[in-house]
Structure 1
Amino acid sequence: MKFSIGRIGEARILPVLKDTVPQGMEELFAYLKERELFSGAKGEIFFDLGLHGSNTLLVGLGEADKLDAQAYRQSFYKAGTEAAKARLTQVTVDLPKFPQICYRTAVKAAAEGLYHSAYRFDKYLSQEKKKPVLEEVAFQIVAGTEDKVTSALAEISNILDGIDLTRSLVNEPAEAIYPETLAKAAQEALTPLGVEVEVKGLEEIKALGMTAFLAVARGSAREPKLIIMRYRGASEDQETIGLVGKGLTYDSGGYALKPAASMAAMHTDMGGAGAVIGAMSAIAASKLNRNVTAVVAACENMISGEAYKNGDIIRSMSGKSIEIGNTDAEGRVTLADAIYYTATKENVSSIIDVATLTGAVIVALGSHYTGAVTNDQAMMDEFKLASDLGGEKVWQLPADDDYRDMVKGKRADLLNSVKGGAGSITAGLFLENFTEGKKWIHLDIAGTSAYDAPHGYRPAGATGIPVQSLYYFCKGDNDQTRCC
């Protein structure tokens, strides 16, 4: 979707607070109130479209004292959906300034809601089955805000392009996205933005001693790839943030074979990889004054005579041994080497790993919150501020020695699967063993990475979570008490 300032098309979108009347529309609003057609409640829509209509789409923002970025996202998502139903491809948004919310924040949130309404993954549909979408939006803005709005639209466009990249990668079937093509997609998307993308193949991965990663990968005929993406927006003496994404481009469960119904969606098991690639796109396009390195250990978890087995004891790059209680708990095994590599070879000061790691997090939090485990509360507090800015909910899970003891093994140093519940917590704390003492956050996005049906202002399929949170965390300066 293309955003600009000015006017475009014949129709306009006008946001309205609950029980308020825009200047010059008193007669229309008296009519709407009398017939109870529109009051400005959040997400409420009235479209005066037609030969003799005003071609105005009224969208309610809700009550003034509850006005926030989420209200804009949700309401403009509905407005965009209605505009598409009317087969509009261009529309102008008349955006008034309300004192309850920063104008720049309002512009970004409105643009985001409209973008989400227009996203489609329909490349495999025949042309006649594709639905029309809103393509261009112009903002008619308050005088004197041009510079603020221009920078806001540029930033949110870069973020949305990153989300679009993540969604498109995660929504692709496993026959289209596998380790080699995922690496190629990262190169094609990021290299033009100034990101150095290094791809290591099988022999180089062996030379690094990434035996845990290779144990998972060896059941597949497709060669694994280690994808390293380096963005340098600050001087060399500044710290580097590390992002690690789970890169299982397909997960059959291995010898702990998944049922068919569960297996069909396992092309989305690289949601963490997609998220860090999308975040790197947004970071580089916005030219953030930060150094960020992202790492993805990409492979498939399949069954063959070479595949690793339940009951195996394998070594990791760190030297720690892992007893495999469940080959379907493979993501943490690949991440063990990816995190250790990032901590020891890429000179990072902190690490955030992102993974569709456990069904347990869905049991605990459903699809509304990403689960988080950390070893550094100050870092976690900063990440929560970033996630609030992006409208991506995060819930911090407890992490103490009672849970850490659960992943300790008797036949090996660590267990990749434990009994006793708390599956999302123990999976996260398993990974802590490979951070080498670096500040670290683990994000379990199994419930939030992709939806079976539309929810809120996000459509079905890949959501792009947590691209925005990662972007704002890397950007820093997440003070929401001032107008940014």
Structure 2
Amino acid sequence: MPIQLAHAATLPAHADSVFLLPAGTTQLPAQLADLHEASRKYVTEQLAADSKLITVNHYSHRHYFVVASAKGSAHLIAEAMRKSGHQLHALLKADKVTELYVEDLSESADGALALALAEGIYLSAYEFEGYKTDEKSKKPAALTRVLLTGAASAEAIQELDYLLQGVCLARDLINAPLNKLNATQFAERMAEAGDAAGYQTEIFDLPRIEALRMGGLLAVNLGSPEPPTFTIMEWKPENARNSQPYVLVGKGVVFDTGGLSLKPTPGSMDMMKCDMSGGAAVTGVLYALAKNKVPIHVIGLVPATDNRPGGMAYVPGDVLTMYSGLTVEVLNTDAEGRLILADALAFAKKYEPALVVDIATLTGSAARAIGKEGIVGMGTADEVQLLALKQAGNRVHERVVEFPLWDEYAEHIKSDIADINNLGKAEAGAISAGKFLERFTEGTPWIHLDIAGPAYLTAPDSYRGKGGTGTSVRLLYDFLKNQE
């Protein structure tokens, strides 16, 4: 079960509590005058030694002390606080704390640092429930509730709680294996999330996809025994600020073998249940926006299928006619994500959107370029929108690195027999993939986010954990809620 975040008016006596102290604190604040002398002396000594995380065990309850960082920008200080939340969670888990109070003495505006600390605790506490049935495997009682006092408002705490529910929803979807989450089941989970949050869902089945002639999605699905789906999620509140919707397009390849251009395994195929991380992120964003009733009209599109080499699987050399009418020569069946995204991006034009953003684990090239530390971005949106997205990335520490889309990169995807091919050169692979997608967005402001690096981690990394991270949910939520 996820942690519940809530507001508390006061701090009860004898409660497990963490005290968030301002940067540079060397003496305990007056509010903590009721600590007995031995505890005060110990904490003061630790503060003088520049300790940032201090524990006092009173046996009936525990007090933890976290000192805010003084280094870097406000964004980096907030990120340090999230990481402090991760470190604190390890102590809470060892101490078997089930309910924690956060007493904010940091003096940060609107309780921003306390919220960041709670965010780090919440995301660190995430565990995929999985499918274990052995009683010995069941986990002991864990932290279930975090209550914040101080400057953070009840409304801000509730907003963060719903946002982090969206992140964990995305993580759950990413971590589910193919035999528990095929394209149809993925669409059903998106619809269930919509019912819970309040957004509308429509699911196109195979006959509808065939009628629309979505040649990319249909081709990738040819080798699969399971049908594809195309899911439309829409959050359209009556008080929406925007007359033209924002459209999010998420890659939904629920498992990618590479098709006939088979991936090697182990090493490349064994984690490919995560190839629908973009679609999962879109679901998490729509969930958070709807739960928080953010007054902005947003549509999510998720084309979904697995990519296998069986049956009538498409082959290198095939020429596909896409939903837009463009023809594509297939040079590699493992460059499948751009094919299904292309149909969805062309479909997005019907909404006359203010902006289209696609999110995808698209290329190993992006992961090699900047690793798990950031997101590769590029697009045709104006500088104002691109800057707003980068600023949102800095605020939530899901940072975006902009790659160029110069005209010369169009040469990388020229085909002798079709309008374009689906594979570029060995160099600039992330950019040629973006250049391919650009052809299906002409006339529409568009941003492409390649999340291949941070979407799924094979080793734990602070509050991002191990496995699906839900990368770009917090980024896009922050970006969209700040749009006019």
1:199 paired to 2:203:
yes
- Tell me what 2:54 maps to: 46
Letter of the structure 2 residue corresponding to residue 75 of structure 1? S
Deviations 1:24-45 (A, max 9, x none): 36864654565x687455xx42
Q: Describe the SS at the equivalent of 1:263.
A: coil
Q: 1:477 to 1:334 in 2, by over 3 A?
A: closer
The alignment of Structure 1 onto Structure 2 pairs a total of residues equal to 466
Residue 475 to residue 48, structure 1, CA distance change in 2 (3 Å) = same
Task: Specify which of 361, 378, 389 is matched with residue 383 of structure 1.
Answer: 389
CA pair 31-107 structure 1, distance change in 2 beyond 3 A? closer
Name the residue aligned to 2:413. Answer: 407
Question: Residue 26 of structure 2 contacts residue 47 of structure 2 at CA under 8 Å; is this kept in 1?
Answer: no
Q: 1:470 to 1:237 in 2, by over 3 A?
A: closer
Q: Note the 1:189-268 alignment, pairs <5 A.
A: 189-233=193-237, 234=239, 238-261=243-266, 262-268=268-274
In 2, the alpha carbon distance for the partners of 1:208 and 1:174 equals: 26
**Corresponding residue to 1:426 among 408, 427, 432:** 432
1:11 aligns with 2:13: no
Give 1:188's aligned residue: 192
Q: 1:88 to 1:187 in 2, by over 3 A?
A: same
> How far apart, CA to CA, are the structure 1 residues paired with 2:311 and 2:483?
52
Q: Report the Cα distance in structure 2 between the residues aligned to 1:237 and 1:417, rounded to whole angstroms.
A: 36
Q: Tell me the residue number matched to 2:67.
A: 60
- Structure 1 residue runs of 4+, over 6 Å off? none
User: Is this contact kept in 1: 2:124–2:463, CA < 8 A?
Assistant: yes
> Which residue is equivalent to 1:330?
336
> 1:403, CA displacement in angstroms?
1.3
Structure 2 gaps of 5+ residues are: none
> Residues of 2 paired with 1:236 and 1:471: CA distance?
15
For 2:209 and 2:263, the matched residues in 1 are separated by: 28
Aligned to 1:124: 131
- 8 Å CA contact 1:40–1:61 kept in 2: the answer is no
TM-score for both structures, normalised by structure 1:
0.91
CA distance in 1, matches of 2:448, 2:44: 50
**Per-residue deviation, residues 106-161 of structure 1 (Å, max 9, x unmatched):** 232122111012100133234433254211111122xxx4xx51111011011001
Residues of 2 paired with 1:104 and 1:83: CA distance? Answer: 22
1:58: Cα distance to partner?
A: 1.8
TM-fit CA distance, 1:203:
0.6
SS in 2 for 1:197: strand
Which residue of structure 1 aligns with residue 114 of structure 2? Answer: 107
Instruction: Note if contact 1:111-1:156 (Cα within 8 Å) is conserved in structure 2.
Output: no
Q: Secondary structure at the match of 1:189?
A: helix
Distance in 2 (CA, whole Å) between partners of 1:351 and 1:477 is 13
Match for 1:294: what amino acid?
G
Amino-acid identity (%): 32
Equivalent residue number for residue 165 of structure 1: 169
d(CA) in 2 for partners of 1:383 and 1:65?
A: 21
Would the alpha carbon gap of residues 97 and 308 (structure 1) be closer, same or farther in structure 2, given more than 3 Å must change?
A: same
Please, which of 140, 155, 161 is the counterpart of residue 151 of structure 1?
155
How far 1:105 moved relative to its partner? 2.2
2:173 is matched by which residue type in structure 1?
Answer: L
Q: Does 1:440 align with 2:446?
A: yes
TM-score by length of 2: 0.91
Aligned with residue 320 of structure 2, among 314, 336, 341: 314
Whether the 8 Å CA contact 2:251–2:277 is kept in 1: the answer is yes
Offset of 1:356 from its aligned partner?
Answer: 0.3
The CA RMSD over aligned residues, in Å, is 2.1
- In the alignment, is the contact (CA less than 8 A) between 1:40 and 1:59 conserved in 2? no
Tell me the secondary structure at the aligned position of residue 332 of structure 1: helix
**1:456 aligned residue:** 462
Instruction: Give the drift of 1:255.
Output: 0.4
Contact 2:25 2:47 (8 Å CA) reproduced? no
Matched, 1:476 2:478: no
> Whole-Å Cα distance in 1 between the matches of residues 474 and 42 of structure 2?
41
